[in-house]
Amino acid sequence: MTFDFSPVLTYLPTLIQGIGITLLIGVIVALFSVAGGLLVAVISIYTNKVISWPLRAFIWLFMTTPLLLQLYFLYFGLGELILIPAIVVGILGLGFHYMAYNADIFIATIRSVSDGQYEASRSLGFGHGATLFNIILPQALIRAVPQLGNNLILMVKDTSVLSAIGVAELVYASQYAISVSFRPFEFFIVIALIYYAINILMELGQAWLERQTAFRR
C-alpha cells in the first residue's frame, strides 16, 4: 500500500480547469433554479388549476425520481431531436431538478406569510402585484434561506453526477489523468477534499446569510 500523489500535481492544471467548470455550472444552476423555483411557486399558487396542476405534477415528478435517470432522459431524449452539447443538457437537467426542490420550498414559505401581511399592504393602497412583490415574496425569500442553502449545497455536490453524461466538470476532467497515471485512489481523495472545501465555504456562507436575515423574520 504505497501512495503517490505526484501525478495529481502533474495534472493540477486539468483539475483546476475542472473546478472552474464545476463552479461555473454551480453558479448558473443556482441562479436558474432559485429564480425558476420562485417563478414556478408563484405561478402555481396564484393561478387557476389548469396552469397550477401541471406545475405541481412537474415538481412532484422531479422530486420522486433520481437525478441520473432525469439526466439520461434529457440527454438521450433531447439528443434525439437536436444536437446540444452535454454541458447544456447537464445545466438544464440539474437546473430543472433543483428548480422543483426550490419551488417546493417557496410554495411552503409563501403560504407561511400570514394573511394579515397581505391585508395590511392592501389597506395601504398597494395592488395585488405590488403586494406580492414588496411584501409577500421578500418575506418568503427570507424564510426560505436555510432550506435554500441546504439545497444549493446538495446541488453543488450533485454537479459530479453530470460526469455520467460527459460534462467536463471536476470528476470527468480527472478521468483521463486517472486512466493514464493509474492512480485513482489519490485522485479521488484529492477530488473529495476539493468538494469538501467548497462545501465548507458554502456552509459558512449559508450561516452568514442566515445571521443576516434572522431578525427580519
Does 16 bind other proteins (CB under 8 A)? Our answer is: no
Does 51 bind other proteins (CB under 8 A)? Our answer is: no
Q: Name the grid cell of 120.
A: 395590511
Does 151 bind other proteins (CB under 8 A)? Our answer is: no
Site for other proteins (CB under 8 A): how many residues? 59
Q: How far is the CB of 95 from other proteins (least distance, A)?
A: 17
Cα dist. 31→2, 28, 94, 153 in Å? 43, 5, 12, 13
Stretch that binds other proteins, among 29-37, 46-54, 104-112, 181-189 (CB under 8 A): 181-189
Applying CB under 8 A, among 186, 206, 209, 210 the residue interacting with other proteins is 186
Applying CB under 8 A, among 48, 49, 50, 116 the residue interacting with other proteins is 116
Does 161 bind other proteins (CB under 8 A)? Our answer is: yes
Does 120 bind other proteins (CB under 8 A)? Our answer is: yes
Applying CB under 8 A, among 5, 12, 84, 119 the residue interacting with other proteins is 119
Helices (H), the chain: 6-10, 12-46, 49-64, 67-81, 86-112, 115-123, 128-131, 137-158, 170-181, 184-214
Contact flags string 55-74 toward other proteins, x per CB under 8 A: ------x--xxxxxx--xx-
Q: To which residue does cell 417563478 refer?
A: 39
Contact 97, 159 (CB under 8 A): no
Q: How far is the CB of 150 from other proteins (least distance, A)?
A: 11
Q: Name the grid cell of 201.
A: 465555504
DSSP 161: G
Stretch that binds other proteins, among 7-15, 44-52, 86-94, 153-161 (CB under 8 A): 153-161
Neighbours of 201 (CB within 10 A): 11
Say which residues have a Cβ less than 8 Å from residue 21's Cβ, sequence separation at least 6.
87, 167, 168, 169, 170, 173
Contact 154, 164 (CB under 8 A): no
Contact footprint for other proteins (CB under 8 A) = 1, 3, 61, 64-69, 72-73, 76-77, 80, 114, 116-117, 119-128, 130, 134-135, 138-139, 142, 157-158, 160-161, 163-164, 171, 178, 183-189, 191-193, 195-196, 199-200, 203, 215-217
